Amino acid sequence: MSVAFAGSSTTGTSRDAGPLRVMIVDDSVVIRGLISRWIGAEHDMEVAASLRTGLEAVNQLDRINPDVAVLDIEMPQLDGLSALPQLLAKKRDLVIIMASTLTRRNAEISFKALSLGAADYIPKPESTREASAADIFHHDLIQKIRHLGARLRRKSAVASPPLAPASPAPVARGPVARPAAPAPAPAVPAASSGSLATRPFSTQAPKVLLIGSSTGGPQALMALVTELGPVIDRFPVLITQHMPPTFTTILAEHLARSSRRPASEAVDGEPVKPGRIYLAPGGKHMRVARSGADPVIALDDGPAVNFCKPAVDPLFTSAIEVWHGNILSLILTGMGSDGMRGGKEIVAAGGSVIAQDEASSVVWGMPGAAANAGICAAILPLNQIGPKVNRLFAGDRS
């Protein structure tokens, strides 16, 4: 058994302003070593334990008392999917990030894990010797730990306010230590969603629904599309979710089942028509263009935008050339600010933006950026977005 403890802790759900305690659970000594070094280089997190199996994680959880667990799927003795509910049963507010290689089976398991309470997932590179793949894994993992851990602490602070003023939580001072990485977005937005001003909805009738999402997006999308049948039947719906290949294939299948409408990864050159959901395929940007009088999908294999591929901004900005101001766009839960710039251009063209509110978002980065930019006509809980969209496409303009 390989166990490395860092610092001391007591069992419970209270949080202080110290580093986030991360438990790494993976049967690969190489992966455990890499992640441990990356976490050790960050000022706002520490390795609480490095374990080889899910069984070790379950048995040691009370003693380790981590804030975040990075949980591999395929392990001996007890795999990640089997360990997940046992870990959450012992510590219900534990943030669990599932880690898996990019196979269809592991993508399916990751989606199952989300339904069982995992906070997020991250694809592991096939080989850590490939520098670009390792860099992406490094950057994405650190950002997920930081943002999801920060959300846990904010929720804990609301649930258990301190008797005396608490020290402010540490703010990320910079990017993960590699030249190409961006500085992390603030863990806490400038203002809460309840205190932000909104603008009037467009007077132009929407002819297309565009949706952008990232962390927490799969769960949000599957809940949302169940309510959008009347819109999907009459108008095209285009979605960009930050996701790798294979995962978007599975997500499209889940969206089709949830909406009971056709949903698939978009294909370059295919016509954009009412009655179906088009999902940006992992690893490519989805744009729209005109072929004669008809809108068509235009996939783009260019560089990442906002450090994402697919990214939301290319979809939003390209749609203006096709539908002008007759656009309703939604920016759902996710890290970073992708969608804000494109949303600003949609508003300038005469369209409207709705952002998911902070309380219902897994991470209020993308919707928070749009809300703080003053471009939103509404900032709503997830369960109010579907009904509002239906009313807007039915003719409501308020």
pLDDT in tens, 296-318: 999 999 999 988 999 999 999 99
As a whole number, mean pLDDT of residues 144-166 equals: 70
Confidence of residue 161 (pLDDT cuts 50, 70, 90): low
Question: Of 138, 139, 242, 254, which is the active-site residue?
Answer: 242
Q: Which of 36, 100, 193, 214 is catalytic?
A: 214
Confidence label for 319 from pLDDT (cuts 50, 70 and 90): very high
| pLDDT of residue 111 exceeding 90 | yes
204 and 375 Cβ atoms separated by less than 8 Å: no
pLDDT at residue 128, as a whole number: 61
Least confident range of 1-15, 115-129, 190-204, 240-254: 1-15
Q: Phi/psi zone of residue 243: left (φ > 0), alpha (ψ -120 to 50 degrees), beta? A: beta
Report the mean per-residue pLDDT for the chain.
88
Kindly give the residue spans of alpha helices, DSSP state H, lying in the chain: 29-40, 54-64, 80-90, 104-115, 131-159, 217-225, 229-234, 247-259, 312-323, 340-349, 366-372, 382-393
- Which tokens is 276 given? 């179906």
DSSP notation for 29-87? HHHHHHHHHHHHT-TTEEEEEEESSHHHHHHHHHHH--SEEEEESS-SSS-HHHHHHHH
Element (H, E) at 325: none
State percent of the chain over pLDDT 70.
Answer: 84
pLDDT in tens, 112-140: 999 999 999 999 887 666 667 788 899 99
Average pLDDT on 98-110 reads 91
DSSP annotation string for 193-234: GGG----PPPSSPP-EEEEEE-TTHHHHHHHHHTT-HHHHHH
Strand order in the sheet with 352-356: 263-265, 277-279, 237-241, 208-213, 327-331, 352-356, 378-380
Q: What are the residue ranges of CATH 3.40.50.2300 in the chain?
A: 20-158
In which band, very low, low, confident or very high, does the pLDDT at 102 lie, cut at 50, 70 and 90?
confident
Q: What is the mean pLDDT of residues 320-344?
A: 97
Q: Provide the pairing of β-strand 285-291 with 294-300.
A: antiparallel
Give the percent of the chain with pLDDT over 90.
Answer: 76
CA distance 266 to 239: 10
Active-site residue, 147 included: no
Question: Region 128-156: what's the mean pLDDT?
Answer: 83
Whether 363 and 335 have beta carbons less than 8 Å apart is answered as: yes
Q: Is 396 a catalytic residue?
A: no
Give the class (CATH, top level) of 198-393.
alpha beta
- Residue showing tokens 């399916």: 108
In the predicted model, is pLDDT for residue 10 greater than 70?
no
Residue 48: partners with Cβ closer than 8 Å, 6 or more residues away: 5, 6, 7, 9, 21, 22, 23, 64, 65, 66, 67
Cα 33 → chain centroid: 26
214 is catalytic: yes
What superfamily would CATH give domain 20-158? Response regulator (3.40.50.2300)
- The per-residue pLDDT for range 181-205, each reduced to its tens digit, is 334 444 434 445 567 889 999 999 9
User: Which pLDDT tens digit goes with each residue over 46-80?
Assistant: 999 999 999 999 999 999 999 999 999 999 999 99
- Label residue 293 by pLDDT band (50, 70, 90): confident
The band of 16, judged by pLDDT with boundaries at 50, 70 and 90, is low
Cβ(296)–Cβ(288) under 8 Å? yes
- pTM higher than 0.95, yes or no? no
For position 126, what pLDDT does the model report?
Answer: 74
User: CA–CA separation, 306 vs 322, rounded Å?
Assistant: 23
CA distance 148 to 130: 27
Q: What pLDDT score was predicted for residue 125? A: 81
Residue of 26, 44, 313, 338 marked catalytic? 338
C-alpha 6, offset from chain centre: 29
Crossing angle for the helix pair 247-259 and 104-115, to the nearest 10 degrees: 50
Question: Which residue would you say has higher pLDDT here, 11 or 280?
Answer: 280
Tokens representing 112 are 């199952």
Domain with CATH 3.40.50.180 in the chain: 198-393
Q: Are 283 and 291 in contact (CB under 8 A)?
A: no
Whole-angstrom CA distances from 386 to 1, 62, 89, 219, 222 are: 49, 40, 32, 14, 11
